[in-house]
A and B are shown apart, each in its own frame.
Chain A
Amino acid sequence: MAAIRPYGDATDDGLIQLSFTLPIAESERAKQAALEFAKKMDLGRPQVVHMKAMGPDFTFFILYGASPHSVDPEDLVVVEREFPVLSYQEVNRVLRESLKRQLVVVGACTGTDAHTVGLDAILSMKGFAGDHGLEYFPEMRVVNMGSQVDPADIVETVRHHEADAVLVSQVVTQRDAHIAHLREVRAALAEAGLREGLILVGGGPRFNPEQAAELGYDRIFGRGTKPSEVASYLTFAVTRTLG
């Protein structure tokens, strides 16, 4: 594949739209500053199509320009998804045939985070983005522990339900609290001797899949993950464990 550039309304025109605010009062000088800024971003023929004062000290711009840069997608190193996305029927069939019992999934939000929106999007019957959550799969049994769960309680629940997988969700975070909280859960499970053979999955809008190794998780899911992807991964991971 050849190098590609943004497409506005014609091949290789390189046109992109930007919006941003500069800390300067609205004026002709402000407009020139925005154009100069665009030039420094290598944008050709920059055009300020909208300029508006945001209070006395700031100005908002909408700007178009043509980028001279191009990328060749073939040259990129991309972490491809290591598992196939299965349909609802396939997930149930594979689990039924390989596991011969329900897959037990424990999910929790830990730390001070009370936002269960991500966890519920993946677990609840309703699901997210047109996908039903894991509760909808007859071959899965879901224990949703809700928010602000102590790592020790997760350990206890994993033991009690003989869980196959643990999902840890973190939505609201500051100063990397989400990373610390995920590590605490992994440490607690390891200390209890439960880490081996357990599928440990973390997720939340601030994570990306590349972080799995540094966090000691089997898989990390980021923003926009659908329940079907998680279901497919769990199916993939559990069958891999079974050998």
Chain B
Amino acid sequence: MGIRREGMAEFRGGGRSVKTSKPFKRPIGRLQIDQESVAECRSLASEISAPIEELARTHTTVSIERACLRFAGVDGVEGEGVEAAPIPNRVVEEIARTVGLERGVLIPFFHAVDATGGDVQGAAEAISSGDLVPAWPEGDDYERARAGAEAAGESAVATIAAAKESRDGAIGRVGDATKPWLYLIVATGNIHEDIPQAQAAAREGADVIAVIRSTGQSLLDYVPYGPTTDGFAGTFATQENFRLMRTALDEVGEELGRYIRLTNYASGLCMPEIAALAAMERLDMMLNDCMYGIIFRDINMQRTFIDQHFSRMVHSLAGIVINTGEDNYLTTADAVDSAHSVLASQFLNERLALSAGLPEEQQGLGHAFEIDPDVPNQVALEIAHAQLIRECFPNAPLKYMPPTKHMTGNIFRGYLNDGMFNLVGALTGQDIILLGMMTEGIHTPFLSDRDLAIENANYVFGGSIALAGELRFEPGGDVERRANQVLEETRLMLAKVAEIGMFAAIEAGMFADTVRTRTGGKGLSGVVRRADAYVNPVADLLGQSLGVT
């Protein structure tokens, strides 16, 4: 009875949930879509992105400068409790106040290091406390500061590259998870509670653990410090919390015989710094979108565009897979009417990732199963959207998000909706599956909700993944027609954005019907135009190592 066990793909250790008769393979070329239109979308995305790339090349932000200081070894806080100010923030503030930021912080900072006998943290603390007033060095002093900054740049690049090596080593040692990767969220607010929950989730079958951040962290212009226990609907992203969770997941990964990936959020006002901390603590995937903060968090568009570029360079070299946030376009608008806004954003995210040296293999482009289940043909429409995206981005580890908006409180129907989501994910070869919870929108998931979600995914993927390799869509049929319609709407939208320019398009509310202005939103005061004398060996060497000019 049933499938012969010998035919099953090898899965190591305990807790592996998705048992499939065939290895995961992305179904490509199953749906006839207009390839010329795809090429045109890409070329429009390049055109749209050019001014953003130029903006990123010619500007810096306080968070980029702080990230560079962190790479140089600056850490810690001044003061205690809620009054505590991170030293990287204090140093950037003091340098901004005294010499300005338009030439970067690294030269004045390493001048201070020079003056304190080569003590990086000591210099930072002295600047922070006011004992040492930063100055722009000249002559030999400049050369020595420059040499210090160059060395910091080299060590930063080595640190970031070491994250990838360390991950590859760990995967080689304990074994990798088979795809699709099941992605589960923990969100207790307390890192010490998160850890046993994350370990339990891994034992139940999760391959990826995401620690949701505390509500509102994206709007903080600093990264909190140390282990934290008091987040709101999520846990603060701090270097220490990253380290504690990494250690815990490595531990459980050894036990289970598969590497458990850790995810957090490089978004909001501290995108570059969080990316830096993620590289230092070997996180594996980071939520990182070129526009999410602008549209959904009202962060200034210039700030976001500049920050995302730097953060993506870090992610690239660290081997971190980014997850983009296109699912948000569907949770705030109708999933049928707005399907093209997802694809348009994916083309832009792809372009801006490539221009930051982040390869397709690390672009976890996001989308979601959010069509109202009462819409006729809902599942067919979802298949059309998911397969279209699969065809457009054959090398990307796509991240598929489960239904949330139409989960009604009828948990029985919700469980079925999640099953259909899993089925569409299996048929269209989605790489990263964020597991749907039948209690979505009711409460933070019970232990049993997570286990049932994994059981659901296990059944559906196990029972249907082989179909992904067999399925072809009827030429001229509903699915193909719908996919090409969305593609055409995407092309038209990108053409319109290209015509007026990205900044004007956002100002005109073309993304998610949300109007954002060039100088509005949070964080503009942290944007600085680079002077000709701007020096930043961390960014330069990072760019060079990635072939980014």
Contact = CB atoms under 8 A, between A and B. Distances in A.
B409 A223 contact: yes
A148 B219 contact: yes
Contact of B233 (A130, A174, A224): A174
B189 to A, nearest CB: 7
A140 interface: no
A54 B409 contact: no
A126 B334 contact: yes
B455 to A, nearest CB: 8
B46 to A, nearest CB: 31
B232 A174 contact: yes
B514 A112 contact: no
A63 to B, nearest CB: 13
A174 B189 contact: yes
Contacts of B218: 114
B374 A114 contact: no
A224 B405 contact: no
B203 A55 contact: yes
Interface stretch (B18-26, B445-453, B491-499): B445-453
A59 to B, nearest CB: 10
A145 B31 CA distance: 41
Residue among B298, B332, B409 having the largest count of chain A Cβ atoms under 10 Å: B332
Contacts of B296: 114, 147
Interface residues of B, number: 28
The main secondary structure of chain B at its interface with chain A is loop
B215 A55 contact: no
Interface string A114-147: 1011001000101001100000000000000011
Given A21-B448, A120-B332, A113 B441 contact: no
A113 B215 contact: yes
Contact of A60 (B189, B200, B451): B451
Given A55-B200, A148-B219, A117 B331 contact: yes
Contact of A126 (B203, B216, B333): B333
B93 interface: no
A223 B331 CA distance: 17
Residue among A20, A55, A114 having the largest count of chain B Cβ atoms under 10 Å: A55
Contact of B332 (A52, A116, A172, A224): A116
Interface string A6-20: 000000000000011
B529 interface: no
A54 B447 contact: yes
Contact of A130 (B337, B374, B409, B446): B374
Interface string A210-243: 0000000000000110000000000000000000
A24 B73 CA distance: 46
A58 B219 contact: no
A224 B174 CA distance: 47
A172 B233 contact: yes
Nearest to A126: B334
A55 B450 CA distance: 11
A146 B216 contact: no
Interface in B218-238: 218-219, 232-233
A205 B441 contact: yes
B204 interface: yes
B144 interface: no
B297 interface: yes
Chain A interface residue number, banded: 20 to 34
A55 B204 contact: yes
Given A21-B446, A172-B233, A174-B233, A224 B409 contact: yes
A61 to B, nearest CB: 9
B448 A54 contact: yes
Residue among B204, B219, B331, B448 having the largest count of chain A Cβ atoms under 10 Å: B448
Contacts of B447: 21, 54, 58, 60
A113 B514 CA distance: 17
A4 interface: no
Contacts of A224: 408-409
A113 B447 CA distance: 26
A180 interface: no
A177 interface: yes
Contact of A117 (B219, B332, B334): B332
Contacts of A58: 447
Nearest to B337: A126
Nearest to A53: B451
A224 B408 CA distance: 8
B414 to A, nearest CB: 14
Contact of A177 (B189, B232, B441, B451): B232
Contacts of A114: 215-216, 218, 296-297
Nearest to B513: A124
Interface string B444-475: 00111001000000000000000000000000
Contacts of B332: 116-117, 120
B14 to A, nearest CB: 10
Contact of B215 (A56, A60, A112): A112
Contact of A112 (B203, B232, B331, B446): B232
Contacts of B333: 124, 126
Nearest to A175: B232
A124 B514 CA distance: 12
A173 B189 CA distance: 12
Contacts of B405: 117
A58 B452 CA distance: 14
A218 B441 CA distance: 26
22 contacts: A21-B446, A21-B447, A54-B204, A54-B447, A54-B448, A54-B451, A58-B447, A60-B451, A112-B215, A112-B216, A112-B219, A114-B218, A114-B296, A116-B332, A117-B332, A120-B332, A124-B333, A146-B514, A147-B298, A148-B297, A172-B215, A174-B189
Interface of A: 19-21, 52, 54-56, 58, 60, 112-114, 116-117, 120, 124, 126, 129-130, 146-148, 172-175, 177, 205, 223-224
Nearest 8 pairs of A and B residues by beta carbon: A112-B216, A174-B232, A60-B448, A21-B448, A54-B451, A172-B233, A126-B334, A55-B200
